[in-house]
């Protein structure tokens, strides 16, 4: 119901346009509000992938079976919160034998273009990173590095472990060292994050970074899947700004279409900023 009212406010802000133009714009805005993000998750077995996804995302999870006979096919989970869906793709590979690399190159080439982001978990006490580095260089390749966000998982396992309910100062220093080490090793496009699901530590910062790494059209739909405590003001603000900008680019795209009559183009340009501010104002109702 709220969605319908919000769509109506947007439609009203386009009222000075001919119906065909406003309908075309509305159709693309509806697509933005229904966008279903796809997030990949990688890491060796036991890195904490399942625990991490449960800590990060709310929502009902349903496994999605793939029809393909390929044994290396990734597992897919579809999550639902309210009317929004998101797919998590559990990507296989890291830590297995190099002999399978050609198979993984094919698999990743097929998957990476469709993924909005890849969360790559590295367990805090994992020192055997040569295999991860090799995989990052050879399998992910340069074209998709901007989609990878490295996450140091189980940070409470960094030395000196105490089993307590808080990280010690020394542990925090060692986590910083680990972050620097990963930056040197991978030279990642996005900054490395560190979390501990057991201590519920680092998750907010991680969620904020994740929202920043996402393509603009994906950030609001991913925010709608986050566990409530991770929906910080910063996260909501970034997603709302992104939504406003994507709505703005819908209008820009329509107004720059070659066959648009000049007077219609002028109206689109005139209402653009109003439509963007309405989109931002109703963001809460959509996401």
Ligand X SMILES: Nc1nc2c(ncn2[C@@H]2O[C@H](COP(=O)(O)OP(=O)(O)OP(=O)(O)O)[C@@H](O)[C@H]2O)c(=O)[nH]1
User: What is the dihedral sign for C-alpha 234, 235, 238, 240?
Assistant: negative
From the list Mg ion, ligand X, none, partner contacted by residue 157 (C-beta under 5 to 8 A by kind): ligand X
| Contact between 121 and 151 (Cβ < 8 Å) | yes
From the list ligand X, Mg ion, none, partner contacted by residue 255 (C-beta under 5 to 8 A by kind): none
Cβ distance to ligand X smaller for residue 54 or 274:
54
From the list ligand X, Mg ion, none, partner contacted by residue 84 (C-beta under 5 to 8 A by kind): none
Helix (H) / strand (E) containing 119:
strand 117-123
User: Applying CB under 5 A, which part among 17-25, 45-53, 130-138, 223-231 lies near Mg ion?
Assistant: 45-53
From the list ligand X, Mg ion, none, partner contacted by residue 40 (C-beta under 5 to 8 A by kind): none
What phi and psi values does residue 200 have, to the nearest 5 degrees? 55, 45
Interface residue list for ligand X (CB under 6 A): 43, 45-51, 154, 156-157, 196-198
Q: In terms of DSSP H, where are the helices of 115-168?
A: 130-135
Residue 97 CB, shortest distance to Mg ion, in Å, is 20
Establish if 50 lies at the interface with Mg ion (CB under 5 A). yes
Cβ distance to ligand X smaller for residue 24 or 76:
76
Cβ distance to Mg ion smaller for residue 43 or 221:
43
Residue 31 CB, shortest distance to ligand X, in Å, is 33
Cβ distance to Mg ion smaller for residue 91 or 149:
91
List CB contacts of 282: < 8 A, sequence separation 6 or more: 6, 9, 10
From the list ligand X, Mg ion, none, partner contacted by residue 196 (C-beta under 5 to 8 A by kind): ligand X
Positions in 160-189 near Mg ion (CB under 5 A): none
Cβ distance to Mg ion smaller for residue 53 or 218:
53
Token output for 263: 């007077």
Which of 88, 223, 202, 92 lies closest to 153 in space, CA to CA? 202
Q: In terms of DSSP H, where are the helices of the chain?
A: 2-13, 19-33, 49-56, 101-111, 130-135, 169-186, 203-213, 216-223, 233-255, 262-286
Which of 24, 7, 37 lies closest to 217 in space, CA to CA? 37
Cβ distance to Mg ion smaller for residue 50 or 174:
50
From the list ligand X, Mg ion, none, partner contacted by residue 46 (C-beta under 5 to 8 A by kind): ligand X
Which residues make up the interface to Mg ion (CB under 5 A)? Answer: 49-50
């Amino acid at each position: 119901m709220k969605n319908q009212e919000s769509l109506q406010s947007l439609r009203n802000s386009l009222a000075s346009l001919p119906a065909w133009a406003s309908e075309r714009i509305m159709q693309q805005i509806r697509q933005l509000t229904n966008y279903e993000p796809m997030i990949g998750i990688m890491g060796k077995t036991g890195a904490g992938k399942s625990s991490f996804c449960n800590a990060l995302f709310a929502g009902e999870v349903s496994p999605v079976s793939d029809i393909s006979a390929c044994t290396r096919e990734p597992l897919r989970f579809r999550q639902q919160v309210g009317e929004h869906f998101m797919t998590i793709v559990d990507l296989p590979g890291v830590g297995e034998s190099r002999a399978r690399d050609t198979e993984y190159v094919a698999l990743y080439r097929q998957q990476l273009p469709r993924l909005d982001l890849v969360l790559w978990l590295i367990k805090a006490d994992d020192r055997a990173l040569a295999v991860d580095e090799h995989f990052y260089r050879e399998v992910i390749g340069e074209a998709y590095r901007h989609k990878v966000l490295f996450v140091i998982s189980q940070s409470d396992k960094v030395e000196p472990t105490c089993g307590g309910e808080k990280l010690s100062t020394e542990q925090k220093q060692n986590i910083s060292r680990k972050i620097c080490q990963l930056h040197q090793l991978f030279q990642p496009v996005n900054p490395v994050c560190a979390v501990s699901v057991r201590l519920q530590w680092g998750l907010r910062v991680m969620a904020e970074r994740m929202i920043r790494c996402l393509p603009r059209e994906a950030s609001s739909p991913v925010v709608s899947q986050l566990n409530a405590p991770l929906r910080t003001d910063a996260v909501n603000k970034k997603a709302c700004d992104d939504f406003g900008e994507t709505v703005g680019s819908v209008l820009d795209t329509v107004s720059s279409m070659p066959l648009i009559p000049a007077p219609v183009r002028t109206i689109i340009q005139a209402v653009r900023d109003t439509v963007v501010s309405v989109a931002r104002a109703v963001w809460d109702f959509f996401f």
